Amino acid sequence: MSAEGEYDCIVIGAGVQGSFTAYQLAKKNQKTLLLEQFLLPHSRGSSHGQTRIIRKAYDQDFYTHMMEECYELWAQLEREAGVKLYRQTGLLVMGPENSESYQLFKVTLQKNKTPMVVLTHDNFSQHIPNVKLAPGDGAFVDISAGVLYADRALRTVQGQFQKLGGVIRDKETVTNIKPGPVVTVSTSAGVYRAKSLVITAGPWTNKLLAHTGLQLPLEVVKINVCYWKEKAPGSYSVKRRFPCFLLTEGEESKEHIYGLPSNEYPGLVKICYHMGSETDPDQRDKQTDKSDIEILGQFVTRCFPGLVPEPAVVESCMYTWSLRRPLKQPPIVHIMNDYQPYLSQSEARTNCGHGFKFGPVIGKLLCELSLGEMPSNDLSPFRIRRFHTKTKSAL
Ligand SMILES: Cc1cc2nc3c(=O)[nH]c(=O)nc-3n(C[C@H](O)[C@H](O)[C@H](O)COP(=O)(O)OP(=O)(O)OC[C@H]3O[C@@H](n4cnc5c(N)ncnc54)[C@H](O)[C@@H]3O)c2cc1C
Ligand SMILES: O=C(O)[C@@H]1CCCCN1
């Protein structure tokens, strides 16, 4: 027999953004349904894996400002659920001292009076052993940055949502959306109706939006998540207070290279390249491009002499980039998050490669938008309307 139900709100996609949105809605006593196509937990989207970086170091003020509230909301969830989701490690930022991108990171933190320590070539190795700072590179540490325990965070927020009476239906793919004063959502197992709908479908956003006639200029890329073996076990370990790091640009590439201390897999340091190759989210494993791994190998050889310059483990994850017109120009590396006024009482949002840490605030904002409340943060950098694209729904 197929399932049916009436809700105040339906959220499609139980990644970090959908889970936080559903939790916020349930906190506001909204009868909420969270739909997920895969059996939970799963590793086919963007929110899986044990760790993510949390930081205030950004090259634009509004992200640094948003992070103030994010840290508070993460801590609030930790207290509510009695679990530890964040571990402070600091974030080492490195990059050519005179480059625009490195300077933007540094100046944004300084301007916002964020706790930081600037390192010099003379004292660098005393603070950060086993890393080679390139000649001409500057370095500083964003002190409050650290690691978020991603899988645990997802489990926790979904658990809190259920405790508040929220309903999760996993292994249920949304197959159709009919907007209207009451939105009708059909899935592989049933039909549900709600006063509002939030779509947080990550890499599948355009596939889902196709049901509404709306398409966004997005590109999904597969990221090779690489783990590198320590030659001397523990030398880059979280226990020895090795920090997360971000190279704004380097000899190997203009793209960021970033990493986290060895932690989830003993003796293995996660180091990844902030760019991947285009993929269809349903065909992710057919994308086998490994040119990023070559770049990372060169970087590891140059900067991390205590690591074997060949990945010991490679996992997969996906980013959903927003693209400036014309398509295929460099991506705008922003979270996107917007109310889509042409879908009656519905919202559409998506994200890219740095959205995990913002989950609590994005959840709060999507909740406010779906209740018709004034959003409590400035959303102008995230508006769908900034894309001169086909934003008008055909429905
Ligand atoms: C390698 C990597 C490293 C990253 N590092 C960081 C970091 O250090 N710090 C940070 O803050 N962020 C980081 N990010 C970004 C962050 O992880 C993402 O921004 C975030 O996880 C996106 O979450 P989401 O909920 O939007 O998408 P997803 O997690 O992909 O969730 C979307 C969900 O929708 C479901 N869905 C789709 N279509 C349907 C349908 N038709 N019916 C039902 N369900 C559907 C999907 O199955 C999926 O579960 C990283 C991302 C990657 C890939
Ligand atoms: O959000 C972050 O902190 C990292 C930075 C580098 C790219 C991946 N995400």
Tens of pLDDT, residues 44-82: 999 999 999 999 999 999 899 999 999 999 999 999 999
383/202: higher pLDDT = 202
Atom of ligand 2 nearest to the CA of 355: 1
Q: Are residues 181 and 279 in the same domain?
A: no
Q: What does the pLDDT read at residue 349?
A: 44
Peptide bond into 41 cis (omega under 30): yes
140 lines ligand 2 (CB under 6 A): no
pLDDT category, 214, cuts 50, 70, 90?
Answer: confident
* Sign for the pseudo-dihedral over CA of 369, 373, 377, 383: positive
Residue having the nearest C-alpha atom to atom 4 of ligand 2: 354
Q: Which residues of 208-235 are buried (b: 16+ CB within 10 A; e: fewer)?
A: bbebbebebbbbbbbbbbbbbbbeeeeb
Q: Are residues 166 and 208 in the same domain?
A: yes
Task: List pocket residues of ligand 1, CB cut-off 6 Å.
Answer: 12-18, 35-38, 45-47, 52-53, 173-174, 200-204, 208, 223, 225, 272, 317-319, 351, 353-357
**How far, in Å, CA of 336 to CA of 249, rounded?**
24
Q: What does the pLDDT read at residue 387?
A: 57
Q: Are residues 265 and 333 in the same domain?
A: no
Q: Are residues 185 and 270 in the same domain?
A: no
Under 8 Å between Cβ of 38 and 225: no
Q: Are residues 102 and 158 in the same domain?
A: no
For 130, phi then psi, to 5°, come to 70, 15
pLDDT in tens, 257-309: 999 999 999 999 999 999 999 999 999 999 999 999 999 999 999 999 999 99
**How far, in Å, CA of 145 to CA of 139, rounded?**
15
Ligand nearest to the CA of 145: 2
Under 8 Å between Cβ of 226 and 218: no
Q: What does the pLDDT read at residue 390?
A: 44
The amino acid at residue 197 is: L
pLDDT category, 252, cuts 50, 70, 90?
Answer: confident
> Does residue 384 carry a pLDDT above 70?
no
CATH code for the domain of 256:
3.30.9.10
Q: Are residues 309 and 346 in the same domain?
A: no
213/74: higher pLDDT = 74
Please indicate, yes or no, if residue 95 is contained in any of the structural domains. yes
Whether this model's ipTM surpasses 0.90 comes out as yes
Decide: residue 91, CB within 10 A, 0-12 exposed, 13-18 middle, 19+ buried: buried
Please indicate, yes or no, if residue 85 is contained in any of the structural domains. no
Q: Are residues 362 and 311 in the same domain?
A: no
Q: Are residues 313 and 389 in the same domain?
A: no
> Does residue 213 carry a pLDDT above 90?
no
Of 134-138, 218-222, 347-351, 391-395, least confident by mean pLDDT is 391-395
Please indicate, yes or no, if residue 62 is contained in any of the structural domains. no
Please indicate, yes or no, if residue 79 is contained in any of the structural domains. no
Q: Are residues 361 and 239 in the same domain?
A: no
pLDDT in tens, 314-368: 999 999 877 644 333 333 334 444 444 434 334 444 446 899 999 999 999 999 9
53 lines ligand 2 (CB under 6 A): yes
Single pTM value for the model? 0.94
Domain count, the chain: 2
**How far, in Å, CA of 220 to CA of 242, rounded?**
32
Mutate to test the pocket of ligand 1, among 46, 55, 154, 358 (most ligand atoms within 8 A of CB): 46
Q: Are residues 237 and 346 in the same domain?
A: no
Atom of ligand 1 nearest to the CA of 173: 42
- Spacing, Cα 98 to ligand 1 middle (Å): 34
pLDDT in tens, 30-48: 999 999 999 999 999 999 9
- Spacing, Cα 245 to ligand 2 middle (Å): 9
**How far, in Å, CA of 98 to CA of 94, rounded?**
11
> Does residue 395 carry a pLDDT above 90?
no
**How far, in Å, CA of 306 to CA of 285, rounded?**
31
**How far, in Å, CA of 18 to CA of 219, rounded?**
20
Last residue of a domain, one of 293, 321, 349: 321
Mutate to test the pocket of ligand 1, among 204, 206, 347 (most ligand atoms within 8 A of CB): 204
Last residue of a domain, one of 321, 349, 364: 321
Q: What does the pLDDT read at residue 226?
A: 98
Last residue of a domain, one of 321, 340, 368: 321
The average pLDDT across 208-237 equals 92
Nearest to residue 375, comparing CAs of 16, 38, 69? 69
Please indicate, yes or no, if residue 66 is contained in any of the structural domains. no
Structure tokens at 84: 């530890």
Give CA torsion, residues 193, 374, 19, 285, to 10 deg.
90
256 lines ligand 2 (CB under 6 A): yes
**How far, in Å, CA of 56 to CA of 68, rounded?**
8
Atom of ligand 1 nearest to the CA of 17: 25
179/289: higher pLDDT = 289
Mutate to test the pocket of ligand 2, among 67, 246, 352 (most ligand atoms within 8 A of CB): 246
Residue having the nearest C-alpha atom to atom 1 of ligand 2: 354
Atom of ligand 2 nearest to the CA of 274: 7
**How far, in Å, CA of 395 to CA of 376, rounded?**
29
**How far, in Å, CA of 56 to CA of 65, rounded?**
8
Average pLDDT of every residue of the chain? 89
CATH code for the domain of 32:
3.50.50.60
**How far, in Å, CA of 40 to CA of 60, rounded?**
35
Residue having the nearest C-alpha atom to atom 2 of ligand 2: 354
56 lines ligand 2 (CB under 6 A): no
**How far, in Å, CA of 12 to CA of 202, rounded?**
10
Q: What does the pLDDT read at residue 216?
A: 82
Q: What does the pLDDT read at residue 386?
A: 59
Q: Are residues 249 and 315 in the same domain?
A: yes
- Spacing, Cα 231 to ligand 2 middle (Å): 25
- Residue 98's domain spans which residues? 91-143+220-321
Percent of the chain whose pLDDT exceeds 90 = 78
Q: Are residues 194 and 229 in the same domain?
A: no
Please indicate, yes or no, if residue 77 is contained in any of the structural domains. no
- Return the HEC string of the chain: CCEEEEEEEEEECCCHHHHHHHHHHHHCCCCEEEECCCCCCCCCCCCCCCEEEECCCCCCHHHHHHHHHHHHHHHHHHHHHCCCCEEECCEEEEEECCCHHHHHHHHHHHHCCCCEEEECCCCHHHHCCCCCCCCCEEEEEECCCEEEEHHHHHHHHHHHHHHCCCEEECCCCEEEEECCCCEEEEECCEEEEEEEEEECCHHHHHHHHHHHCCCCCEEEEEEEEEEEEECCCCCCEHHHCCCEEEECCCCCCCCCEEEECECCCCCEEEEEECCCEECCHHHHHHCCCCHHHHHHHHHHHHHCCCEEEEEEEEEEEEEEEEECCCCCCCEECCCEEEECCCCCCEEEEECCCCCHHHHHHHHHHHHHHHCCCCCCCCCHHHCHHHCCCCCCCCC
